[in-house]
Amino acid sequence: MTIWWLAVILVGVVSFGLGFIWLAVKLGGLSRYQKGGLNQVLDAADNDVEHIFDDEFREELRNRGRLHFEKIIGENAMFLQQDLRLTTSQLNEYMKQELTSKLREEFGKYEESITDAKQMAIDSIEKTKETIEEERQQLRQQLQVELQTEESRLIKRFEDNMADIVNHYVLAAIGQQIDLSDQLEYIISELEANKQAIAEDIKYGT
Amino acid sequence: MALDKFSLPNRIVSQGDVARVKRELHSLNDYLDQAQLRKTGSAMERLPKTSRGLDDFVTDNTLNLVNEQDRYAAISFFDELADKAPVVHVSFAVDPSANFIIKITGWFRENIDRLVLVNIGLEPTIAAGCTVRTDNHLYDFSLRSHFDKQRQLLISKIKGEPTKAP
């Protein structure tokens, strides 16, 4: 039920009450109007009426009218109360539905916003993670290259130095132990191998 | 040309030996000149000592140094030898013995030049073998040089790489 239905019901109830009041006033005014024109008749009749509609009878009629009026008022009040209760319950239901739908909608939006924010945060974290991973990979590759270079350099230096050390050690260790007379054959063979070059060098000074 | 007249004994090895023999020859010459001028009855100085190199030279070339002509020929030979003889420098790790030097000198004179002078040097860092240096070249027959040439073999051995069969 919408607010329009509630308004129509309220307007109906108010119109009904106003109509009732207007009818009561109208009936009262008519009776006064008729009194003026028919005074004589009435005066004449009054005497008889006074006999018929005496105070007790009038009081009886008044009581009856009062009771009838009270009855109508009570019934209308009951109807009004029922309508009000119905309207209130419908209004409550409507408000509940509206509030629920609004809350659901707002909660949906809120949840959507949270989901979006969460997704953005996840995306940001993923990007950061990817960037860190790329940086780590680059750093790792660079480190590996530098390590390999350093390793190669150290190995080369070690090999070179080790060769020098071994040479030096061997020369120092055996150099003094080899008798020159034992070397004579080797020296002569080396000289023989280079005899031509030495002879030409001495002869021509080339 | 005086250099063609005589042979040079292997005991006279280096320029230093030649200078010493020259000095001995001049000393002997002075002595003999003094002896000729000596008055009869005056005291004679002692005959200057001569080295084995000069002795060998005289023996090998059958000279008589009392003979003035032979003496001047020998002086002339050594003067010319000091100026014109080819020289090689041979270095060893340790000081070689006299016999060893004579053998090396003999090889040079038999195979290179009969009047070549050999200056002997000491170079402990070569460990073994020798280096021969002429005026223009250096021939390195040392163990150090041999090791340097085999350096890659040593490095490959240190690395544990398989080596090619020679």
Instruction: Look at B47 and B137; give whichever has higher pLDDT.
Output: B137
Task: Show residues of chain B in contact with A152, CB under 8 Å.
Answer: none
Query: Is residue B34's pLDDT more than 70?
Result: yes
Record: contact A183-B129, CB cut-off 8 A: yes
Looking at the fold, whether B54 and B103 belong to one and the same domain comes out as no
Among residues of chain A, what percentage have pLDDT more than 70? 88
| Domain ranges, residue B112 | 86-161
Looking at the fold, whether B70 and B109 belong to one and the same domain comes out as no
Looking at the fold, whether B123 and B59 belong to one and the same domain comes out as no
Q: Which of B84, B102, B122 is the last residue of a domain?
A: B84
Domain assignment of residue B166, yes or no: no
Provide the whole-model pTM: 0.55
Instruction: Look at B160 and A76; give whichever has higher pLDDT.
Output: A76
Record: contact A183-B128, CB cut-off 8 A: yes
Q: Residue A163 is nearest to which of B107, B111, B151, comparing CB atoms?
A: B151
Looking at the fold, whether B77 and B90 belong to one and the same domain comes out as no
Query: Is residue B28's pLDDT more than 80?
Result: yes
State which residue of chain A sits closest to B117, comparing Cα positions: A202
**Residues β-bridged to residue B138:** B133
Looking at the fold, whether B96 and B139 belong to one and the same domain comes out as yes
Q: Residues near A83 by Cβ (< 8 Å), separated by ≥ 6?
A: A9, A13
Query: Is residue A172's pLDDT more than 70?
Result: yes
Interface confidence, given as ipTM, is 0.80
What residues does each domain of chain A span?
3-126, 176-206
**What size, in residues, is chain B?**
166
State which residue of chain B sits closest to A173, comparing Cα positions: B127
Q: At residue B13, what are phi and psi to the nearest 5 degrees?
A: -100, -55
Looking at the fold, whether B56 and B77 belong to one and the same domain comes out as yes
Looking at the fold, whether B67 and B93 belong to one and the same domain comes out as no
Q: Which of B84, B108, B123 is the last residue of a domain?
A: B84
Instruction: Look at B39 and A141; give whichever has higher pLDDT.
Output: A141
Q: Which two tokens stand for residue B105?
A: 């000198």
Residue A181 has a pLDDT of 78
Residue A184 has a pLDDT of 86
d(CA A144, CA A150): 10
Q: Which range has the worst mean pLDDT, A8-17, A22-31, A44-53, A130-139? A: A44-53
Interface A-B, measured as beta-carbon pairs within 8 A, has a size of 103
Looking at the fold, whether B1 and B79 belong to one and the same domain comes out as yes
Query: Is residue A152's pLDDT more than 80?
Result: yes
Cβ contact B53:B21 at 8 Å: yes
Record: contact B86-A202, CB cut-off 8 A: yes
Record: contact B155-A186, CB cut-off 8 A: no
Residue B64 has a pLDDT of 86
Domain assignment of residue B131, yes or no: yes
What's the whole-number mean pLDDT along residues B37-62? 82
Q: Residues near A19 by Cβ (< 8 Å), separated by ≥ 6?
A: none
Looking at the fold, whether B112 and B41 belong to one and the same domain comes out as no
Torsion, Cα A44 A46 A49 A54, to 10 degrees, reads: -160
Residue B22 has a pLDDT of 92
In chain B, how many domains are there? 2
Cβ contact B93:B124 at 8 Å: yes
Cβ contact B151:A156 at 8 Å: no
| Alpha helices (H) along A176-194 | 180-193
pLDDT digits (tens, 9 = 90+) for B123-145: 888 878 889 998 888 988 888 88
Q: Say if A132 is an interface residue toward chain B (CB within 8 Å).
A: no
Looking at the fold, whether B113 and B56 belong to one and the same domain comes out as no
Q: Residue A199 is nearest to which of B103, B112, B159, comparing CB atoms?
A: B112
B160: left (phi over 0), alpha (psi -120 to 50) or beta: left
Residue B21 has a pLDDT of 92
pLDDT digits (tens, 9 = 90+) for B5-26: 888 898 899 999 999 999 999 9
Query: Is residue B58's pLDDT more than 60?
Result: yes
Q: Say if B160 is an interface residue toward chain A (CB within 8 Å).
A: no
Q: Say if B32 is an interface residue toward chain A (CB within 8 Å).
A: no
Looking at the fold, whether B63 and B20 belong to one and the same domain comes out as yes
Q: Which of B36, B55, B84 is the last residue of a domain?
A: B84
Looking at the fold, whether B40 and B10 belong to one and the same domain comes out as yes
d(CA A201, CA B135): 8
State which residue of chain B sits closest to A196, comparing Cα positions: B112
Distances from the Cα of B25 to the Cα of A196, B8, B114, B115, angstroms: 35, 15, 21, 19
Record: contact A205-B135, CB cut-off 8 A: yes
Record: contact A163-B127, CB cut-off 8 A: no
pLDDT digits (tens, 9 = 90+) for A78-126: 999 888 888 889 888 888 898 889 888 888 999 999 999 999 999 999 9
The mean predicted confidence, pLDDT, of chain A is 84
d(CA B105, CA B101): 6
